[in-house]
Amino acid sequence: MSVDTATVAKIASLARIKVTEADLEAMVPELNGILAWVEQLGEVDVTGVEPMTAVIPNTLRLREDVVNADPLTGGDVRDKVLANAPAPEHGFFGVPKVIE
């Protein structure tokens, strides 16, 4: 499958990356080169093969339902959460107004 300018524009929009027309023109052949190359996977017979789910066989551990058991993964850290915010506003993150 190969992509054209419109497809790349759509993908870039889905990925929320603004691209110029010139970027698009350059990206199309690059992406097509990479896609054509990865498509050789299509020739592998994968009949009866399960997709990889865990590279080292292992399953999920269940955490205890305890609040702030580990301060590194608990709440009550608003200052830390907001410390790097581009627009902190009265304890909130500010973003351009959203119309729903």
Site for other proteins in 77-96 (CB under 8 A): 77-78, 80-87, 89-96
> With respect to other proteins, which residue has the nearer C-beta, 21 or 37?
37
Among 4, 21, 25, 63, binds other proteins (CB under 8 A): 63
| Binding of other proteins by 22 (CB under 8 A) | no
Q: Closest approach of Cβ 87 to other proteins, in Å?
A: 7
Contact 52, 37 (CB under 8 A): no
**Residue-wise DSSP of 7-43:** HHHHHHHHTT----HHHHHHHHHHHHHHHHHHGGGGG
Among 2, 6, 25, 68, binds other proteins (CB under 8 A): 68
Count Cβ neighbours within 10 Å for each residue of 54-74 and write b for 16 or more, e otherwise.
eeeeeeeeeeeeeeeeeeeee
| Binding of other proteins by 21 (CB under 8 A) | no
State the angle between helix axes of 5-14 and 21-38 in degrees (0 to 180), rounded to the nearest 10. Answer: 90
Binding residues with other proteins: total (CB under 8 A): 75
Q: Closest approach of Cβ 21 to other proteins, in Å?
A: 13
